[in-house]
């Protein structure tokens, strides 16, 4: 089921999420997040963006893989994810967010990460990521911590975005 996306200005986007337990209806949550991200044309969506303070998110790189043959299609539901290790090499890439429509800025993030999470069957998975997968994972993981990509940009750029952010909050 497609659910409404919480927009910048809502306090829920600034709160830390709670762990998902086996007794939670996590499979429905995963399906709702996938339905919503696909309908919106996004590449990732975290539970807090759907108004649910749970540590879960989805990644779907198919919009990238359709445009760029070098990007492999990757679709996954992450439950209680952790970043175990980050590379010391960083790279910059323009990011956007479904909760902050119309704003795109370059964000510096570690190029490679090692992660741990539970999959849709609630089985523990460990994986190394790089490239676009690592970028999206870190962006969505930040949502679980109440961090938005605009928090990671240059303070002067953020100040220049103040008017656009104000318009989002008041639209």
Catalytic residues: 140
SS3 128: strand
Alpha helices in 17-161 (DSSP H): 26-40, 62-67, 131-144, 155-160
11 phi, psi to nearest 5 deg:
-65, -20
Q: Rounded to the nearest 10 degrees, how much is the dihedral formed by the CA atoms of 23, 142, 51, 65?
A: -90
| Positions of E strands within the chain | 44-46, 56-60, 75-86, 90-97, 100-110, 112-118, 124-130
Nearest to 122 by CA among 24, 3, 2: 24
Show Cβ contacts of residue 14 under 8 Å, excluding neighbours closer than 6 positions. 146
d(CA 48, CA 50): 5
């Amino acid at each position: 089921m497609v659910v409404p996306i919480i927009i910048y200005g809502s306090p829920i986007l600034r709160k830390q999420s709670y762990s998902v337990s086996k007794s939670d209806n996590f499979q429905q949550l995963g399906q709702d997040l996938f339905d919503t991200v696909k309908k919106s044309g996004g590449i990732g969506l975290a539970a807090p963006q759907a108004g649910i303070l749970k540590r879960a998110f989805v990644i779907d790189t198919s919009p990238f893989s359709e445009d760029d043959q070098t990007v492999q299609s990757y679709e996954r539901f992450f439950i209680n994810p952790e970043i175990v290790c980050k590379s010391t090499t960083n790279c910059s890439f323009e990011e956007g967010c479904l909760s902050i429509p119309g704003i795109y800025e370059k964000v510096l993030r570690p190029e490679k990460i090692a992660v741990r999470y539970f999959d849709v069957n609630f089985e523990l998975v460990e994986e190394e990521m790089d490239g676009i997968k690592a970028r999206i994972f870190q962006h969505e993981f930040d949502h679980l911590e109440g961090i938005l990509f605009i928090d990671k940009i240059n303070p002067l750029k953020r100040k220049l975005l103040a008017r656009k952010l104000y318009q989002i909050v008041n639209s």
